[in-house]
Amino acid sequence: MIKKAVIPAAGWGTRFLPITKSQPKEMMPIVDTPVIQYVVEEAVASGITDILMIIGKGKRAIEEHFDRSPILEESLLAKKQFDLLEQIKKISNLANIHFVWQKEMNGLGDAIRYARDHVGHEPFAVLLGDTLISGEGDPITK
């Protein structure tokens, strides 16, 4: 079974300019959830537990989205906003998520090359952080 995934998310997002000049395309919301979160949730539902995201300049928001936010958590707790607190905690606990910075944008293959040390000789999935596909079952493992 595949346990590792690589999500290349370092590109400039030129097809979505001008909005991607200030917001990563992977963070574009579908209602109240960024596209990349749906990708991670699908990976986790398919049995993947270890995710490496390849990010680049202007993509810090992706890292912050999946990281813990103790100050926000304390604020939500103090305001007794328990539902929101659980939603926020769930995001940072989805999987073991790691980040690597791609220094130069040289295409998808180059981005995946940055994952070599992380995945070693194990099989892994490559998921695109800006692509949603609707379907039944576990599409990642099929």
pLDDT in tens, 20-68: 889 999 999 999 999 999 999 999 999 999 999 999 988 999 999 999 9
Cα(65)–Cα(103) distance, rounded to whole angstroms? 21
Please write the tens of the pLDDT for every residue from 76-132. 999 999 999 999 999 999 999 999 999 888 889 999 999 999 999 999 999 987 777
Q: What is the pTM of this model?
A: 0.88
Closest CA to 127 of 54, 75, 63, 68: 54
pLDDT score for 135: 67
Cα(141)–Cα(43) distance, rounded to whole angstroms? 9
The more confidently predicted of residues 39 and 142 is 39
Cα(80)–Cα(38) distance, rounded to whole angstroms? 27
Q: Helix, strand or coil for residue 104?
A: coil
Fold of 4-67+95-126: Spore Coat Polysaccharide Biosynthesis Protein SpsA; Chain A (3.90.550)
- Enter the DSSP assignment of 122: S
Q: Is pLDDT above 90 for 14?
A: no
Most distant CA atoms of the chain, gap in Å: 47
Segments making up each domain of the chain, as ranges: 4-67+95-126
